[in-house]
Structure 1
């Protein structure tokens, strides 16, 4: 039986938006598209991320003979820090930098190739390939843990995952898919739903990961990571219909794909499209750099004195961090009733900055969770920027656009790991939370960019109430 025989109509929203919308296979409920793909992939990533950092910490501590701060009056601010603990923190952050750096550099070139290719051959191939790559990465991590190999072998897994597109390609493919099946009016909220899937998956995985590691160690959770990535690839193959309406054969290894991304930012368009694309991408670069840079340091910050959290508290903290996706989705839906998207984004910046400032000064568990709480609306900015970018390009260039966005995300990860993981050990002697304070200050730049574009735009997209008035 052919795919057409198996497919069903998308949702009433997508069907109403335009004729000829893509059809989805019947194993997906009405209105559901690639949300399960992003949920499963993010679940695996969120389960894996903190555990990798803790594993590196434990291995480095064992190699250096460091028994931890729990027996050394942890939590008392006496103005001194164990030099051995500082060495463990430094080596852990540096190895995190090396491992992430290798994967992200390789992934940038893969995503720029696969994204434009998907505009011709469809989104499904570029969603299946990264799933297998991430599963292979988890398998290599398991070998390292079983054989107690040096943590540097994690880099091999990251490079292999980067060749297949890594998690960034899944992000690019899913967001391009939503751009294919949604109309301009609903796109911001549909993108926000995708990002909320990131939050829900991350929250569940963080709670499970902390408790599971405390009870059974590292290996069993990584078997689940391996299985979930395989299930994700299988789910796309069996259940996800194609969203590209007119597929055509296209070679994968050709410079034309890179050229299509380059043309987006060199060919002038109407309404100052080229300038807006560059400015929005710069804002996106800074937002994701701060977000990922701070996120990478949260676990190290919480493991060391004066907080000295155990795995269960680290899991709850990571869950609180991912809960911002859900609270941001609810707030976005509410504030869109009376504010333009740009001003909703400004509120997100304010929430994020306030939370990072408090976290930079956190010396107790309640204060750390207060910082997490203040960031309740922090994730409203990225779906708005993605939606604005999507509306600036033609329907046939969505894959090229979101591959460039994914490359910017890869560059953001590169900058985040390079700047924040290097800055953290360098500032331990005078202010442990300085990287978080710096992140809050950096967010003032994208906040200014979005505000200026909105003010200077001759045809701002006001909300319904503004149009009525």
Structure 2
């Protein structure tokens, strides 16, 4: 049971933000309906969103250390509301504009992780960040539930369904602005704002070599950080399949419509909520975390290959999702918690921004790749995702073999 009011408000902010994004996801194919190569339009929109996070994540993280977490959370919430307003009317061009606007402010998750770390005792860091992951999963249930429920309960003409869902998302975005205003400052000790350093941060954030150099410098002070961030970055390559699912389900052999996509994400998110809650609440502190990541990654490879082979079988798809939630879906929370343990108050936002920048670069690369592969065959991206998961296996094995002290539990 979470008793910290600040933590509850931060979790509420995360939940509403994810609900908004998840509610809109099932209707995104409607923005490119009738266009040639709609899979490329959807991949391009995702690439825009992720590409802008290359610098927005590190920049907002740096600003959070200078001006505080609260102002960044407020600005990001306002940005999300404006981005959703740009989705009206339903046009492909406005979807791209929305992705640009939302990408500029979605770097707030570096600030969210910093705020959670600020208010969490060290012994609860992995658990509290794991709960954040559970809340993200819950949001992925509630978002499609909002969309699917609206379309099921009310008789809404098909041409107006997308607009109604966007209206709801816009209303929730406004609610989240109010939530952000209720959150107090979690880091009263701030560093001096240096505009030249901000410019340097923007430049370095779009330069993966510079990001890596920063990470090497941090490694000297905090052994093990480099390996953890590298693992999280490679995992971001794998997690591109989360965003690819909408394209695959809508345009692939299953030919899911808006309702079917909504129901799929309700099931996926619901199963993930249950498994994440049980794992982070009762198991995570008792396990050898190196071995846990290793075995989850090993289990994940056949799951990802299996997605490419489901054909028209909804039953097989849903079975694979269950295994997914018991393996791949739990890895990131473990790794992020261990990264958080290696942060300090003075540069926490900067470090989380650096991590998000690395993830953003990886997410952009994987989006461009799966977009190109999907144009050849909609099944090919899952082969790419399985290869990246194999790299996670190698990193986890190397860590377990060479650096067992990296992880807190034996």
Q: Same fold (TM over 0.5)?
A: yes
Aligned partner of 2:399 in structure 1 is 453
Asked whether the 8 Å contact 2:307–2:382 carries over to 1, the reply is yes
Q: Do residues 365 (structure 1) and 314 (structure 2) align?
A: yes
Aligned partner of 2:330 in structure 1 is 380
Runs of 5+ consecutive residues of structure 1 not aligned to the other structure = 1-10, 15-27, 61-87
Runs of 5+ consecutive residues of structure 2 not aligned to the other structure = none
Query: Secondary structure, in 3 states, of the residue corresponding to 1:99?
Result: helix
Query: Secondary structure, in 3 states, of the residue corresponding to 1:242?
Result: coil
CA spacing shift, 1:176–1:198, aligned 2, 3 Å: same
Give 1:194 deviation, angstroms: 0.4
Alignment counterpart, residue 366 of structure 2, candidates 413, 416, 420 = 416
Q: Do residues 56 (structure 1) and 31 (structure 2) align?
A: yes
Give 1:37 deviation, angstroms: 0.6
CA spacing shift, 1:390–1:349, aligned 2, 3 Å: same
Query: Quick check: which one's helix share is greater?
Result: 2
CA–CA separation in structure 2 for the residues paired with 1:264 and 1:181? 26
Aligned partner of 1:310 in structure 2 is 257
Aligned partner of 1:394 in structure 2 is 344
Q: Do residues 127 (structure 1) and 73 (structure 2) align?
A: yes
Give 1:107 deviation, angstroms: 2.9
Query: Secondary structure, in 3 states, of the residue corresponding to 1:157?
Result: helix
1:20-45 alpha-carbon deviations (Å, 9 max, x no partner): xxxxxxxx4x8624100100000001
Aligned partner of 1:195 in structure 2 is 133
Aligned partner of 2:118 in structure 1 is 180
Deviates more, 1:207-216 or 1:283-292: 207-216
State the superposition RMSD in angstroms: 2.7
When the two structures are superposed, what TM-score results if normalisation uses the length of structure 2?
Answer: 0.87
CA–CA separation in structure 2 for the residues paired with 1:41 and 1:31? 15
1:123-152 alpha-carbon deviations (Å, 9 max, x no partner): 01111111111111111111x32xxx4x12
Aligned partner of 1:329 in structure 2 is 277
Query: Secondary structure, in 3 states, of the residue corresponding to 2:193?
Result: coil
CA–CA separation in structure 2 for the residues paired with 1:160 and 1:177? 23
CA–CA separation in structure 2 for the residues paired with 1:440 and 1:420? 12
Aligned partner of 1:32 in structure 2 is 8
Query: Secondary structure, in 3 states, of the residue corresponding to 2:86?
Result: helix
CA–CA separation in structure 1 for the residues paired with 2:234 and 2:352? 17
Asked whether the 8 Å contact 1:354–1:374 carries over to 2, the reply is no
When the two structures are superposed, what TM-score results if normalisation uses the length of structure 1?
Answer: 0.77
Query: Secondary structure, in 3 states, of the residue corresponding to 1:141?
Result: coil
CA–CA separation in structure 2 for the residues paired with 1:439 and 1:360? 10
Query: Secondary structure, in 3 states, of the residue corresponding to 1:176?
Result: helix
Aligned partner of 1:347 in structure 2 is 295
Give 1:454 deviation, angstroms: 3.0
Aligned partner of 2:95 in structure 1 is 154
- Count of aligned pairs: 394
The answer to which structure, 1 or 2, has the higher relative contact order (CA under 8 A, 6+ apart) is 2
Aligned partner of 2:228 in structure 1 is 280
Moved over 4 A (4+): 256-264, 268-272
CA spacing shift, 1:224–1:412, aligned 2, 3 Å: farther
Asked whether the 8 Å contact 2:60–2:110 carries over to 1, the reply is no
Give 1:243 deviation, angstroms: 0.8
Asked whether the 8 Å contact 1:195–1:325 carries over to 2, the reply is no
